Amino acid sequence: MEDPVIPFDLARMFFGTDPALFYLEIVFRTCVVYAYALILIRWVGGRGIAQMSTVEFLLVIALGSAVGDAMFYPEVPLFHAMLVITIVVIINKLLDLLIYRYSAAEKFVDGETVEIIRNGVIIVSSLRRTRIGKNELFESLREQGVVNLGEVRQAYLESSGRFSIFRAKPPQLGLPIEPAWDVCPPPTYNPGIAVDGVSLACCNCGVVIPAPVKVSTACLRCGGIIWTSAIMASSDSRLQQT
């Protein structure tokens, strides 16, 4: 049977009953968990961090856990939590210093900007590397009022997880993304299917084959085999296919 907890036992509250060497173990545990969490968050990617930097996100998690446990677990001494908080803040300051002085450290901790679209064409290798699906990309573009990829000169996935979109001037023919394909799928063409002289856009990467096109083929850029009619941005873009 466990001994009852004595209220306001200052020795237990601040130092617990562990041997002094256990504090060195706390330092080791904190460093290991912090490094492991950093690696996991970098693996997951910046999109889940939103507007926080990676270091700030880790700081919030670590401080929240350290402070929370010490608040309502009587077996967690306050000094343990205070030591963890101190170590986490020191690590955070050291990372800030490394990020400020070394660009390699900045790229490792915060990630780097990735180009997703160039001249209305999706860079498929970038989607694969960042593990972003086309539906997620198209949703972000529609939130910016983009109707087809021909309106986009360049788009980037920032290290913060947000998309930066730069418009083409003037807009070009491109792959239609509005309305959403789940709501209203565009008419498609497979290789070898006769086409009535329209401009085609690859449904995989958005590359456009100008009219006249008689028979669709596999996309030379990405190997995609599904095509749809390319459109220009307008208030009634679905009806103004070229």
Place of tokens 């180009």: 115
Model confidence over 24-42: pLDDT tens digits?
Answer: 888 888 887 777 777 766 7
Per DSSP, 186 falls in state P
> Is it the case that residue 112 has pLDDT exceeding 80?
yes
Q: Are strands 227-229 and 163-167 parallel, antiparallel or unpaired?
A: unpaired
**Helix locations, the chain, DSSP H:** 10-15, 22-44, 54-72, 78-101, 103-110, 124-130, 134-143
Q: Is the pLDDT of residue 176 over 60?
A: yes
Model pLDDT, residue 55: 74
User: Can you give the pTM of this predicted structure?
Assistant: 0.67
Band of pLDDT at residue 241, cut at 50, 70 and 90: very low
State residue 204's pLDDT score: 94
User: Domains of the chain (ranges plus CATH)?
Assistant: 10-110 (no CATH), 114-239 (3.30.240.20)
**How does pLDDT run across 117-132, given as a tens digit for each residue?**
999 999 999 999 888 8
Q: Is the peptide bond before 212 cis (omega within 30 degrees of 0)?
A: yes
Instruction: State the pLDDT confidence band at 49, using cuts at 50, 70 and 90.
Output: low
What's residue 235's pLDDT?
44
Average pLDDT over all residues of the chain: 81
Q: Whole-angstrom Cα distance, residue 28 to residue 32?
A: 6
